[in-house]
Amino acid sequence: MTRRSIFMTYAAVVVIALLPGTLSAQTPSTGELDGLSKFRNYKARRISSHDRTGANDDGQWKNPIQSGETRTLAEIKGSGIIKHIWFTIASPEQQHLKKIVLRMYWDGETNPSVEAPIGDFFGLGLGEYFMYESAPLSVGSQKALNSYFEMPFSNGARITVTNEGKQKIDAFYYNFDYEEHASIPNDLGRFHAQYRQAAPNKGWTNEWTANSDAKINDRTNPRGDGNYVIMEATGRGHYVGVTHSILQNQADWWGEGDDMMFIDGETTPSIIGTGAEDYYLGAWGYGGCSREKCDTFAYQRYGNPMNGGENRGAKWMVYRYHLELPVTFTKSLRVTIESGHANHRSDNYYTVAYWYQTEPHGAFPALPRVEERIPRLKNTGGPEMKYQ
């Protein structure tokens, strides 16, 4: 019996009463008020989409981003640290969050350090808007995309978007708030974000009825064979977190797999977890699910703001940020997670990993074609219904 089924059985006997909003009431401080009175040695700067004529065409409605166009939003010279990014997009195209690609380049590099569909970068990996708040990323009303990741550069920064959709983007509003410095310290890593997907994961069996089947529970995977890869990097740096969106192709709880991290060339992971919901800092399969709805929560360092239940077609989003203890590496890092017990499940995974490292960085995997990025249910066998 899995922990999720144990919890649901226990919950049927012991009723836990929660007041509305209890799950998201406690938000740990991120320390932003600490030292707020201390004088700063930088110049505050902003690059925005404001109408350069002084009129009100701030989203460039008169100059829409055409299909196939790559547009440079910001090109900054010198040294600085981007502290905040804000976007909002007016587009009639379905799934435009999956079809617009965001790229960022530091210090004159030709290969981007950030490459992801714009929705995935902000945790909206299924191409749908919903609101949530975390310390590094948030989505506000209405359709406001915010990033607070620090992004240092010593010799320029360039940020672009590419419209891989079939329709033009009517308007694209943006603000980049950054510190301008004469120089920045040598010990600041460069920000990286890498998109990956498996649509679907290749489960080792589709002949199962529940995650608790004996042949699944008894399967071993000590070395992470067949794990979904969240990120790979070479050089020196530290991993700070991931946003993870799931479309279930099979019923029952998606998150029975363990996280495994391989540091500096390890063949056996030195960091290994106890289940996906544990890595994402929930517990007991997130619990709180009925036939009608599932509870959600969004904290500063971890969250589950989209919880679709356990039937085929369920949609999920979870995230985890290692702000208290980034995972360091001096030569390489490979972050992985199982898709079910020893990778028995075949759900769709969409992730963006975030980390800092020295340059040059290793090659990113090729970005999947836009048609492949659109979330679609796949016929992978296995159970279809958990609740009737």
Predicted local distance difference test score (pLDDT) of residue 31: 66
The string of pLDDT tens digits covering residues 46-85 is: 999 999 999 999 999 999 999 999 999 999 999 999 999 9
Q: Which residue type sits at 240?
A: V
Predicted local distance difference test score (pLDDT) of residue 129: 98
End-to-end CA distance of the chain: 20
Give the chain's domains with CATH numbers: 43-50+58-181 (2.60.120.1390), 190-208+221-373 (2.60.120.1390)
The string of pLDDT tens digits covering residues 138-166 is: 999 999 999 999 999 999 999 999 999 99
Cα dihedral across residues 302, 243, 221, 361: positive or negative: negative
Distances (CA, A) of 354 to 55, 112, 246: 37, 14, 18
Give the residue ranges of the chain where pLDDT is below 50. 6-29
DSSP result, 55-104? SS-TT-TTS-B-TT-EEEEEEE-SEEEEEEEEEEEE--STTHHHHEEEEE
Run of H or E residues at 160 = strand 157-163
Q: Which long-range contacts does 62-67 make (Cβ < 8 Å, 24+ apart)?
A: 64/168, 64/169, 64/170, 64/171, 65/161, 65/163, 65/168, 65/169, 65/172, 66/163, 66/168, 67/163, 67/164, 67/165, 67/166, 67/167, 67/168
Predicted local distance difference test score (pLDDT) of residue 11: 43
Cα dihedral across residues 140, 143, 144, 146: positive or negative: positive
pTM here?
0.92
- Among residues of the chain, what percentage have pLDDT more than 90? 86
Is the CB of residue 256 less than 8 Å from the CB of residue 2?
yes
Nearest of 370, 366, 347 to residue 117 by alpha carbon: 370
The string of pLDDT tens digits covering residues 3-35 is: 555 444 444 433 333 333 333 334 444 567 889
Predicted local distance difference test score (pLDDT) of residue 388: 55
